[in-house]
């Protein structure tokens, strides 16, 4: 096994998990995590026409997605406000995880190709890109709202590998806080690592994968 590239998710990897924030916001209105997840983010292990998914593919503006999500909640008697979740995520400057940033920097210095694949929203672009030295850290950045594709669509992983210069999937590792996105990367042939609330475990797992790989 040879590893050439490490590809990262953004939210929940370089920042705290949006799913933890969603749990807290859901609790405030009496929603279970499952209900809050289904209303706000839709069936997240699939790529569908849920308003959030369309927003992440750049097909719907954020304000329209917010209104449609509010209507989905109201229909189930749950007054969930998307912007409350966003405010929660923006608190503490987004809480960037310096350990992950530093590890990414070192990976680049060690000669690995580094990439970012983020399911994101056009209206957030300026904000999230300002949280990391994006161009310094990554050889390739794939933002769902720019490319019209989102995880778990296999095409977005393939696009990232192509932008990294045509890396073979089995020579790449993918890290994401959402297990469904990691599963999808594995189906494409990449190695997958799930990032938990404390990223130390995932960084250790990445380390052992790289140690097990033969020198490039």
Q: Which is nearer to Mg ion, 4 or 144 (CB)?
A: 144
| 157-175 burial code (b ≥16 CB/10 A, e <16) | bebbbebbeebebebbbbb
Q: Which is nearer to Mg ion, 9 or 143 (CB)?
A: 9
Tell me the closest approach of the beta carbon of residue 207 to Mg ion, in angstroms. 21
β-partners of residue 140 are 115
**From CA 117, how far away is CA 150, in angstroms rounded?**
9
**From CA 91, how far away is CA 93, in angstroms rounded?**
5
Q: Which is nearer to Mg ion, 11 or 169 (CB)?
A: 11
Residue showing the smallest CB distance to Mg ion in the complex = 12
Count CA within 13 A, CB hemisphere, residue 23.
Answer: 5
Tell me the closest approach of the beta carbon of residue 209 to Mg ion, in angstroms. 19
* Residue 161, helix vs strand vs coil: helix
186-36-62 Cα angle (round to 5): 80
Tell me the closest approach of the beta carbon of residue 9 to Mg ion, in angstroms. 4
Q: Which is nearer to Mg ion, 153 or 177 (CB)?
A: 177
Q: Which is nearer to Mg ion, 12 or 152 (CB)?
A: 12
Tell me the closest approach of the beta carbon of residue 181 to Mg ion, in angstroms. 7
Q: Which is nearer to Mg ion, 4 or 9 (CB)?
A: 9
From its phi and psi, is residue 111 left (phi > 0), alpha (psi between -120 and 50) or beta? left
- Per CB under 5 A, residues contacting Mg ion are 9, 11-12, 177
Record the tokens describing residue 187, joined without a space: 């189906």
**From CA 63, how far away is CA 77, in angstroms rounded?**
21
- Residue in this structure with the two tokens 């997958």, named with its chain if needed: 192
Tell me the closest approach of the beta carbon of residue 44 to Mg ion, in angstroms. 10
Tell me the closest approach of the beta carbon of residue 150 to Mg ion, in angstroms. 11
């Amino acid at each position: 096994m040879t590893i050439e590239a490490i590809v990262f998710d953004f939210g929940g990897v370089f920042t705290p998990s949006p799913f933890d924030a969603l749990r807290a916001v859901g609790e405030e209105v009496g929603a279970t995590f499952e209900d809050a997840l289904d209303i706000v983010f839709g069936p997240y292990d699939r790529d569908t026409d849920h308003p959030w998914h369309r927003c992440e593919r750049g097909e719907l503006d954020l304000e329209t997605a917010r209104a449609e999500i509010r209507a989905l909640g109201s229909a189930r008697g749950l007054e969930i406000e998307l912007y409350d979740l966003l405010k929660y995520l923006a608190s503490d400057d987004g809480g960037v995880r310096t350990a992950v940033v530093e590890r990414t920097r070192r990976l680049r210095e060690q000669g690995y190709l580094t990439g970012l694949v983020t399911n994101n929203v056009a209206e957030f672009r300026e904000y999230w890109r300002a949280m990391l030295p994006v161009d310094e850290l990554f050889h390739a950045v794939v933002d769902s709202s720019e490319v019209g594709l989102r995880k778990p669509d296999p095409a977005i992983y393939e696009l990232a590998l192509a932008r990294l210069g045509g890396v073979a999937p089995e020579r790449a590792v993918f890290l994401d806080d959402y297990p469904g996105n990691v599963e999808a990367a594995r189906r494409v042939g990449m190695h997958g690592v799930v990032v938990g609330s404390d990223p130390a475990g995932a960084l250790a797992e990445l380390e052992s994968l790289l140690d097990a790989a033969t020198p490039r």
